[in-house]
Amino acid sequence: MIDLHTHTLFSDGVLLPSELVRRAAVAGYKAIALTDHVDASNIDLVVPRLATASKELDGKFGIRVVPGAELTHIPPEDMANLARKARSLGARLIVAHGETLSEPVAPGTNLAALESDIDILAHPGLITEEEVRLAVKRRIYLEVSGRKGHSLSNGHVVKQALMLGAALVLNSDAHEPGDLLSHDRARRVLLGAGWPEERLGEVFGHSAQLVEKSMSR
C-alpha cells in the first residue's frame, strides 16, 4: 500500500509523524505522504515541520516518507499563490482539498486547484467534465477517498475518470490509526466505486509513480 493523503497532530490528526509512519510500516505500507491541512494562517509553521520529519523518517522502518501539504478551504483566488508557497517551504507533494459533498467548500475550488501547481485533487465531489479534462491535460491525479463523507462521490469520480481518461489514486485521508487502509480494503473501495477489477494495478501504480516524482524534486 501507498497512501498519499494523511494527517498528523500538526493539523487535525492524532499521531506524531513518527507514530503514523511506524504504524503504516507495520501495516505493510511501502510509502506514505504527510499532508496536513494548511492555509495562509499556518503554512509557514506546518510545512517546514513536515519536511523535517519526513527527512528524518524517510527510509526508517523500511518505508518511504514524502513531505507534503493539503491546501484546505483556500479561497479559489489564493490557491495558486499558496501552492507555490507550499513548494518553496518544502512540500514535495501537494494535495488540494476539493469540493467534497461533506463540507461547504467554496465553489470554484476544484478549477482553481487544477490551474495551480498541485499533484492530487482530493475528494473532488461532483467534479465537472471540464474540470476532469483539465486534470488530464495538466497530469493531475484525482482522488478516490477511503474516508467517510468524502467517499460519497467516489462513484461519480470513477465514472468521469473512465469516460475521460483521468488518472486516479486511492488514499485513506487518515486522521487516526484505524483510518489506514489495508490493501484489501483499498481494493474494495475502488471496486465499490465502479473501477474495473482488471485495472486495479493501474491505480496503485499511479501512487508509486507519484512517490518517485515527488522524491526526485
The yes-or-no verdict on residue 168 having pLDDT over 90 is: yes
Across the range 62-75, mean pLDDT stands at: 98
pLDDT band at 66 (very low <50, low <70, confident <90, very high): very high
DSSP state of 168: E
Q: What does the mean pLDDT of the chain come to?
A: 98
Domain that holds residue 114: 2-215
* Residue among 165, 170, 190 nearest 180 (CA): 170
Pairing mode, strands 120-122 and 93-97: parallel
- pLDDT at residue 214, as a whole number: 96
Residues 42-76, buried b or exposed e (16+ Cβ, 10 A)?
bbeebbebbbebbeebbeeeebbbbbbbbbbebeb
Check pLDDT > 90 for residue 217: no
In the DSSP assignment, the letter for residue 55 is H
Give tens-digit pLDDT for 102-136: 999 999 999 999 999 999 999 999 999 999 999 99
d(CA 167, CA 180): 22
- Cα–Cα distance for residue pair 94/204, rounded to 1 Å: 18
Residues 6+ apart with CB under 8 A from 159: 194
Q: What are the pLDDT digits (tens) for 6-47?
A: 999 999 999 999 999 999 999 999 999 999 999 999 999 999
Q: What is the DSSP letter of 110?
A: H
For residues 48 and 14, is the Cβ–Cβ distance under 8 A?
A: no
Is the whole-model pTM more than 0.95? yes
126: CATH: 3.20.20.140
pLDDT in tens, 134-151: 999 999 999 999 999 999
Residues 6+ apart with CB under 8 A from 214: 33, 66, 68, 92, 93, 119
26 with 62: CB under 8 angstroms? no
- As for how many domains the chain has, the answer is 1
Average pLDDT over residues 166-187: 97
Distance CA 91, CA 119 (A): 11
Spatial distance between the Cα atoms of 72 and 123, rounded to a whole number of angstroms:
12
| Residue 52: predicted pLDDT | 98
